[in-house]
Amino acid sequence: MEPLSEDAVGRRVSCREERATVRYVGPVPPTKGVWLGVEWDDPERGKHDGVHEGVQYFTCSVPGAGSFVRPFKVSFGLDFLSVVHQVYHVDRDEELSEEISLSSRQWDHLSLENRSSIILNGFEVNGAGEDGAIRKTTPNVRWLDLSSTLIGGWEDVAAITEQMEALEGLQLSLNRLQLTSDLTSDPARLAKAFLHLTTLVLNECALCWTQVVQCAPMWPKLEVLGLEGNKIRSMSPPGSDLFQTLKTLNLSRNPLEQDSVLALSSLPRLKQLDLSETGLTSVHFSDAGPGEETGMFPALKSLNLKHNHVSEWRVVDELDKLRSLVQLSCRENPLKAPDGKHKTRTQLLIAKLRRVQQLDNSQVGPDERKGAEQDYVKLFGEAWLAAGGRSQLSPDFIADHPRYQDLIRKYGAPEEGSMKKPEPFALKNQLIKICFEFPEDPERSSFEKRLPVSMEVQKVKGLLQRLLKVPATELSLSYTSPKGDTEFQLDKDLKSLKFHSIEDGDTVLVRWS
């Protein structure tokens, strides 16, 4: 094993297949010898925050993710080509005919020279190695997968990729990549290493938006960016000179703040956007009124909103403002039709979204659209009449049904005999009074609210999120009853208040991290 010094701080290591970053090298009295203080990628693997017997030896970005380990228990990895030759070793007896008298090493070199992809996912690559050797050995690589390696910085990545002049796609998921201090002010210095890169995947790299924007000048021609499962919360506009070529962006499984997504609205070529599992409850395009087109997201054609907390139909009306939207995925959202039927929900989505051609991976044909729009007209015909549809339509009805007047002009006003009356949910009108209290914030006043017993817990969290300005994902709810002192957890977000046996007069206790 190579001698250790303080230069090892910041390097990536593996220990029993777990990845970590070295935060400290040195003694830890009263024990003898050298220790490594490491911060684990998986915080559950840690034991402390770098403190031993009251002494702070290092700090962790995630509380409790630190440990001390002996150097002989970890691996600092190997250079790129050493790992490549291990992974892509070609057996001479299998690959060479009797007429070809080349050594195994020569044949390996020839096969690597012609490879268009190199996959080193999970291998312990720690850097480029000898200068220029990669350019000679793997010059034609177009796709490179370096996920879950021991590379710790963008300079190390660039030292590899700058030798692959044909590189178009790069997978770097499950790494912890840092910019050195001298690169922070001028990351564009590394742009020549990613000159032809069009696809970059950085899933589960513990990144925030500031880090992404900071690195963006390195990727001048990027078209596809994967950022799934990071720590992106608040986003600000990236600037007029960044991400101008970006067409596809995946932000799935990031705890986004509600309005942050609008920071991306000026990207001129963004066509596909994945916002699934981000806790999204609403979206509002303030530059356009009901039924109008927004100037935001001008090129957006495909939007994924699956597994979110969208429950208001006005969110769907907002999406109809997107001038280019033709594909939408919105399964696993608490968005319900007045009669509670899935078929009616689908019809309402089709009727409200005039341009959508594919909904939840199913094509919307002309006949299906016509039927959905006609049924929509019938379903809300009585409400239209009551709102002054024959004369001056009320602003509230227009806000709830911005497409309705267009559909009247298209199909004609509904006849009274054909109008459908929305069937209410069986529990819709069963309201219960609930008191909300905040045991960890005594200065915040409690309040009472009447809610449908059929309301799902995640919708209650959405209501509290708007009130408290705290992400729904950080809210923890429980309740007590006047009948006893036991505290019951509201831990099933997709289940109703009735499912959790909440009754009129109960108290919901609201906590957040």
**For range 145-157, the mean pLDDT:** 96
Cα–Cα distance for residue pair 146/199, rounded to 1 Å: 13
CATH number at residue 49: 2.30.30.190
**For range 486-493, the mean pLDDT:** 86
Whether 442 and 494 map to the same domain: the answer is yes
Report the pLDDT value the prediction gives residue 298, as an integer from 0 to 100: 97
Supply the range of the domain harboring residue 403: 371-418
Q: Are strands 35-40 and 18-26 parallel, antiparallel or unpaired?
A: antiparallel
Report the pLDDT value the prediction gives residue 90, as an integer from 0 to 100: 45
In a domain, 240, yes or no: no
Point out which residues pair with 37 in neighbouring strands.
24, 68
Report the pLDDT value the prediction gives residue 429, as an integer from 0 to 100: 54
Whether 32 and 65 map to the same domain: the answer is yes
On average, the pLDDT of the chain sits at 89
Give the residue from 363, 397, 418 where a domain finishes: 418
Whether 442 and 395 map to the same domain: the answer is no
| More confident call, 483 vs 473 | 473
**For range 56-65, the mean pLDDT:** 94
Q: Tokens 């994967």 correspond to what residue? A: 226
Give the residue from 383, 418, 453 where a domain finishes: 418
Report the pLDDT value the prediction gives residue 413, as an integer from 0 to 100: 87
- pLDDT tens digits for range 453-480: 888 999 999 889 888 888 888 899 999 9
Whether 52 and 22 map to the same domain: the answer is yes
Give the residue from 393, 418, 443 where a domain finishes: 418
**For range 355-369, the mean pLDDT:** 96
Give the CA angle between residues 179, 123, 148 to the nearest 5°. Answer: 45
Residue 499, amino acid: F
Whether 413 and 448 map to the same domain: the answer is no
In the predicted model, is pLDDT for residue 496 greater than 90?
Answer: no
Report the pLDDT value the prediction gives residue 422, as an integer from 0 to 100: 54
Whether the CB-CB separation of 217 and 240 falls below 8 Å is answered with no
**For range 17-33, the mean pLDDT:** 93
In a domain, 225, yes or no: no
Report the pLDDT value the prediction gives residue 106, as an integer from 0 to 100: 42
In the predicted model, is pLDDT for residue 2 greater than 80?
Answer: no
In the predicted model, is pLDDT for residue 258 greater than 90?
Answer: no
In a domain, 349, yes or no: no
Cα–Cα distance for residue pair 117/143, rounded to 1 Å: 5
Q: How many domains does the chain have?
A: 3
Here the tokens at position 232 are: 């992106």
Report the pLDDT value the prediction gives residue 467, as an integer from 0 to 100: 86
Whether 408 and 435 map to the same domain: the answer is no
In a domain, 498, yes or no: yes
In a domain, 49, yes or no: yes
Report the pLDDT value the prediction gives residue 417, as an integer from 0 to 100: 62
Q: How many CB atoms lie within 10 A of CB 219?
A: 25
In a domain, 275, yes or no: no
Dihedral through CA 408, CA 411, CA 415, CA 421, nearest 10? -70
In a domain, 17, yes or no: yes
Residue 420 banded pLDDT, cuts 50, 70, 90: low
Q: Where are the beta strands (DSSP E) in 357-466?
A: 358-359, 362-363, 431-437, 447-452
- pLDDT tens digits for range 270-318: 999 999 999 999 999 999 999 999 999 999 999 999 999 999 999 999 9
Report the pLDDT value the prediction gives residue 167, as an integer from 0 to 100: 97
Whether 435 and 507 map to the same domain: the answer is yes
CATH number at residue 456: 3.10.20.90
Report the pLDDT value the prediction gives residue 3, as an integer from 0 to 100: 57
Report the pLDDT value the prediction gives residue 419, as an integer from 0 to 100: 66
Report the pLDDT value the prediction gives residue 91, as an integer from 0 to 100: 42
Whether 414 and 435 map to the same domain: the answer is no
Cα–Cα distance for residue pair 235/228, rounded to 1 Å: 15
3-class DSSP string for 436-473: EECCCCCCCCCEEEEEECCCEHHHHHHHHHHHHCCCHH
Out of 162-166, 278-282, 377-381, 500-504, least confident range: 500-504
**For range 486-494, the mean pLDDT:** 86
Catalogue the long-range contacts made by 208-212 (C-beta closer than 8 Å, 24 or more residues apart).
Answer: 208/232, 208/233, 209/233, 209/234, 209/235, 209/236, 209/260, 211/179
In a domain, 159, yes or no: no
Whether 445 and 383 map to the same domain: the answer is no
Cα–Cα distance for residue pair 150/297, rounded to 1 Å: 37
- pLDDT tens digits for range 86-127: 998 744 344 333 333 334 444 444 478 889 999 999 999 999
